[in-house]
Chains A and B, each alone.
Chain A
Amino acid sequence: MTALLEARKLTVSIGDRVLCAALDLCLEERQSWAVLGPNGIGKSTLLRHLAGLSPGVNHKLYCAGDPLDRLTPRQRAQRIGLLLQHSDRGFGASVLDTVLTGRHPHLPHFAWEGRNDLAIARQSLADLDLAALADRPLDQLSGGELRRVDIARLLTQQPRIALLDEPLSHLDLGHQANCLKVLTARFIGHRRTLLMVLHDLNVAYRICDHWLLLGRDGAWRAGRREHLADPETLHAVFDHPILRLDGPDGPWFQPRF
C-alpha cells in the first residue's frame, strides 16, 4: 500500500482558533475516509488545506511522496480533486460545458477540449443521470441536479485523490445511493482514494472503511471505523448522545431525541 496523500503535523487554524492540531493523516490506495464532526469544527477548511489551496501549509502535505509545495497548481489539480460544499450557478453556462471544465488541468494551455475529453464528460453525465440535461443552463437546474453536476465535473477531472465536502447534500435518496455507488466504483479502486465530509453516520459506516473524527479544541482521532464507532466516542465528538443499534447488516446510528 502506498500513501497517496499524507499530512504530517498539519495544524488547521482560523485566526487564533485552532481547529485541528498536529494532524497526522495518511490516505492510502483503495481506502475510503469519512470526515465526521459537528458544525463549525473546520471540516471544510481542512479539505481546502488537504487539496493544497492554502499555500502556507503545503509543505506539511505530501502527494504520493512529493511535497505539495513542489507541485504547480496544475499538477496538483491533476492528482487531487475537490468537491466544494456550495455549488455555484456561474453565468449560465450549460451543464456539459461546466462538466467539461473538469478537463482543464489535463489540457495543454491553449487547447480546446477534444473528442476524448467530450467522451469522458458525457460518461460522467450518464453515470449521474444527467445525460438528458446536458444542454440545460446551470441557472435552470434544481439544487440536487446542480449538486450532481458538481460531482460529474469531479469525475471528469479524474483525480487519484477525491476530497468531497458533503457530496450528498440536496440529493434525494435514490440519487444518494447512485452517487455513492459511482463514487466508490471510481475512487476506491486501484491507485485511487476517497475522502468525504459526511453527516450521516450510517452512510459513513457502510461506505467508508476509515473515519477521521474532529472534536473540540483541535482534538482529532483517525483510524479504522470499527475502532471509532462506539457510542461513547461519538457522544464526545458530537456533544450529544448517539444510539448504536446492532442489526444483521452492521450497526445503525441514531441521535437520541
Chain B
Amino acid sequence: MAAVAARELRDGEVVFVGIGLPNLACNLARATHAPNLVLIYESGAVGAVPERLPLSIGDPALVTGSLMVCGMADVFQLFLQNGRIEVGFLGGAQVDRYGNINTTVIGPYERPAVRLPGAGGAAEIAVHAQRTLIVAKLNPRAFPARVDFVTSPGQRCGERSRRGLGMPGAGPVKVITDKAILEADPATGEMVLAALYPGVTADEVQQGVGWPLARRPRLAAVAPPTEADLRLLREVLDPQKHYLKG
C-alpha cells in the first residue's frame, strides 16, 4: 500500500505529509523516483530530509538539514491557505462514498462508542491542497456509505459540491487501499473502482466497501511493489515496523 501510494507522487511536487502510512509513502517516494519531492510537515518543517523515519510528524530528524523551519501559523496561512500545497496525503478511520473522511468519532459525537484523535491538520488539508490522496485499508467498517462524522470534506457534502461550498482544492482524487485503487468520478464525485492489485477480483473489493461500487469500464492493473521498494521499506525506512505492522 505504501509502495503504491508512493508512485502517485511526482518528482518536485510540494507535499503536505500526514501522520502514519502517508509519512512512509512520502519518504519512500523521496528515496526512489522523486528525490526532489518537497516534504512539508504541519509541525513547520519545510523541505525535510529525515535521516530516520519519523515516528511522529514533529520528530527532530525533520528539522536537521531541512530548507526552512517555520511556526505553525505560517504553515497553515502562508503555505496551505496560500495554495502552495500540491498534494495532501490523508488517512482515516472511515472513508465514505464521496471521499469524506472521519477521524473524530465512531457513533454519535456526544456519546461516542470510540473517540478518535480528531482533525489535526487534516480538515484544512482536505479543503486547500490542490489534490489529496487517501490511504486506507479496505473493510466495510472503514468504508461505510456515509461516515459517522465528516472531519475532512470529500467530493460532495449532501447535495453540494466542493466548488459550491467555496473549497479551493480538488479534494480526494484517489483512495489507495490494500486491494485496489478507487478514483473520484469527475461527474458525480463518487469513488469508483479504477485499478486492482494482482490476484484481486472486483467482487473482493466490493466486499470491503459499504456501498454499491461503480467500476470504470476498463480496470487497470496495479503493479506489485518492486524488490527494491520492499527492501527499502522493510530494511531502511521502517525496520522497527512502526507503520508496516499488520
To the question of whether A and B form a pair in one complex, the answer is no
